[in-house]
Amino acid sequence: MAEFTLDLNDDQKQIRDWLHGFAADVIRPAAAEWDEREETPWPVIQEAAKVGIYSLDFYAQQFFDPTGLGIPMAMEELFWGDAGIALSLVGTGLAAVGVLANGTEEQIGTWIPQMYGDADDVKVAAFCSSEPDAGSDVAAMRTRAVYDGAKDEWVLNGTKTWATNGGIANVHVVVAVVDGALGSKGHASFIVPPGTPGLSQGQKFKKHGIRASHTAEVVLEDVRIPDHCLLGGKEKLDERLARARERAAAPGGERVKNAAMATFEASRPAVGAMAVGTARAAYEVALDYAKTRSQFGRPIIDNQGIAFQLADMRTRIDASRLLVWRASWMATTGKPFTSAEGSMSKLYASETAKKVTAQAVQILGGNGFTREYPVERMHRDAAIYTIFEGTSEIQRLVIARTLSGMPIR
């Protein structure tokens, strides 16, 4: 088991520097354009695929890094470049994590490669969980999956919302209700293969931030998929549902894993790393500006009001990174989140990104409020971190429940 360390090894440093160079040379120069266009930056994804960043092999190598630091390190550097473009590059990963968390080895080997395509024909994937009436309240999910034994198929009906790459994805991973009486324990995840009839894109959202990332509704109308597209398989699902029913009849029994929550538990530290990247980018712009911008005959950093803000910004960023790295190391080495360390990392880092980017705008003054400087975009982008994959309020709820052992509402 790898010991926790703050020192990256030589291979990790090389990868970090390579990613930083791509972020600086390819992502940043394109950021303003694709933010304005509000479209998926296919040319950037194509370039990332050509150099090996947008690929199953690259993310697998980072995911299986024995120290746990591969993914957070990669996320921080890419999102330092630009949050919207970076989310287009890593959004497929959430669907891949959904398959890794719930699928069989055969399903993992079959579907994850199809999510990425190759350098000559890049593809993206979508993880579809949220619904118009079921965001944080996953128990309110209405999308249904009904098994048709005569044809050995599942039939999916419902509408998903806030789906990154929704409708444009090659592969969709859809969470649906298979037993409504069990609440969130009666959910399962399904693969909807490319070209499946009945799946269509609904509304595409025009967003406040991360505008280079495609976000849309996904409509499912009598979508028929073969039984082997049920992640984990029907036998495993039937066993899990049976345990959930027993627990419902006798409170205090075995805890049963929820399909969507398994995905979010695995990805929360990675989202924290994204937030760290955006916060660090805004801090660096503000620091450089404060050292070169003069007022009343001296650089504005010479004023305590500015200098102390920058000190606080850097402290919060470093503290956020430490929480993210700890949670990532714990997850990789099999240490349980006994104090909801994954949620802690996501909560603190996302709140830090919002605060630091707001402070950066303030330090730049009027310039910070214009699109001539990137902190305006970074501030808009940072708002998403406290919302997606569990709001800050939900993270606090998870932490409080874990610490207290009480069903806090």
3-state secondary structure the chain: CCCCCCCCCHHHHHHHHHHHHHHHHHHHHHHHHHHHHCCCCHHHHHHHHHHCCCCHHHHHHHHCCCCCCHHHHHHHHHHHHCHHHHHHHHHHHHHHHHHHHHCCHHHHHHHHHHHHEECCEECCEEEECCECCECCCHHHCCCEEEEECCCCEEEEEEEEEEEECCCCCCEEEEEEECCHHHHHHHEEEEEECCCCCCEEEEEECCCCCCCCCCEEEEEEEEEEEEHHHECCCHHHHHHHHHHHHHHHHCCCCCCCCCHHHHHHHHHHHHHHHHHHHHHHHHHHHHHHHHHHCEECCEEHHHCHHHHHHHHHHHHHHHHHHHHHHHHHHHHHCCCCCCCCHHHHHHHHHHHHHHHHHHHHHHHHHHHHHCCCCCHHHHHHHHHHHHCCCCCHHHHHHHHHHHHHCCCCC
CB proximity list for 317: less than 8 A, separation 6 or greater:
276, 279, 280, 283, 352, 356
Amino acid at 381: D
Q: Which residues are catalytic?
A: 389
